[in-house]
Structure 1
Amino acid sequence: MGAAVTTQHDASPAPAPADAQGPAAGAPAVRISGLHKSFGRPGTAAPVLEDIDLDVVPGEFLCLLGASGCGKSTLLDLVAGLERPTAGTIEVPGGRPSLMFQDHALFPWLTAGRNVELALRLAGVGRAERRPEAERLLELVRLGGSYRKRVHELSGGMRQRVALARSLAQGGSVLLMDEPFAALDAITRDVLHEEIIRIWQERRLTVLFVTHNVREAVRLAQRVVLFSSRPGRITGQWRIDLPQPRRIESAGVADLSVEITEQLRGEIRRHGEH
Structure 2
Amino acid sequence: MTAVIDASAVRIDSVSRTFGSGSHRVHALDNVSFDARPGEFVCLLGASGCGKSTLLGILAGIDQPSSGTVDVGGRRVGLMFQDSALLPWLTAGGNVALPMKIRGVPKVDRRSRVEELLALVRLAGLADKRPHELSGGMRQRVSLARAFAQEADVLCMDEPFGALDAMTRDLLHDELERIWRETGVTILFVTHDVREAVRLGDRIVLLSSRPGRVAEIFDVGLARPRRIDSPDVAALAVTVTDRLREEVGRHGH
Query: Which TM-score band applies after superposition, normalised by the shorter structure?
Result: over 0.9
Could you tell me how far apart the structure 1 residues matched to 2:30 and 2:196 are?
25
Q: Does 1:127 align with 2:112?
A: no
Q: Does 1:167 align with 2:147?
A: yes
Verify the 8 A CA contact 1:94 1:173 in the aligned structure 2: no
Q: CA deviation at 1:116?
A: 0.7
Greater Cα offset, 40-49 or 103-112: 40-49
Amino acid at match of 1:217: A
Instruction: Classify the secondary structure of the residue corresponding to 1:47.
Output: strand
Could you tell me how far apart the structure 1 residues matched to 2:184 and 2:221 are?
18
Q: Does 1:59 align with 2:39?
A: yes
Q: Give the equivalent residue in structure 2 for 1:9.
A: none
Could you tell me how far apart the structure 2 residues matched to 1:133 and 1:261 are?
41
Post-superposition Cα deviations, 1:151-206, rounded to whole Å, max 9, x if no partner, equal 00000000000000000001111010000000000000000000000000000010
Q: Give the equivalent residue in structure 2 for 1:114.
A: 94
Counting matched residue pairs gives 251
Could you tell me how far apart the structure 1 residues matched to 2:25 and 2:61 are?
20
Amino acid at match of 2:79: L
Q: Give the equivalent residue in structure 1 for 2:215.
A: 235
Instruction: Classify the secondary structure of the residue corresponding to 1:225.
Output: strand
Q: Give the equivalent residue in structure 2 for 1:103.
A: 83
* Deviation >2 Å, runs of 4+: 41-45
Q: Does 1:208 align with 2:208?
A: no
Q: Does 1:31 align with 2:11?
A: yes
Post-superposition Cα deviations, 1:87-143, rounded to whole Å, max 9, x if no partner, equal 011111143311100000000011000001111112332111111111110000000
Instruction: Classify the secondary structure of the residue corresponding to 1:78.
Output: helix
Amino acid at match of 1:149: K
Q: CA deviation at 1:42?
A: 5.9
Q: CA deviation at 1:270?
A: 1.2
Could you tell me how far apart the structure 1 residues matched to 2:160 and 2:195 are?
15
> What is the TM-score of this pair, normalised by structure 2?
0.96
Q: Does 1:139 align with 2:119?
A: yes
Greater Cα offset, 186-195 or 92-101: 92-101
Q: Give the equivalent residue in structure 2 for 1:193.
A: 173
Amino acid at match of 2:174: E
Q: Does 1:91 align with 2:74?
A: no
Instruction: Classify the secondary structure of the residue corresponding to 2:252.
Output: helix
Greater Cα offset, 127-136 or 91-100: 91-100
What are the ranges of 5 or more consecutive residues in structure 2 without an aligned counterpart? none
Q: CA deviation at 1:26?
A: 4.8
Could you tell me how far apart the structure 2 residues matched to 1:266 and 1:103 are?
30
Could you tell me how far apart the structure 2 residues matched to 1:26 and 1:251 are?
36
Q: Give the equivalent residue in structure 1 for 2:51.
A: 71
Instruction: Classify the secondary structure of the residue corresponding to 1:172.
Output: coil
Amino acid at match of 2:77: P
Instruction: Classify the secondary structure of the residue corresponding to 1:235.
Output: strand
Amino acid at match of 2:185: L
Verify the 8 A CA contact 1:225 1:234 in the aligned structure 2: yes
Q: CA deviation at 1:44?
A: 4.8
> What is the TM-score of this pair, normalised by structure 1?
0.89
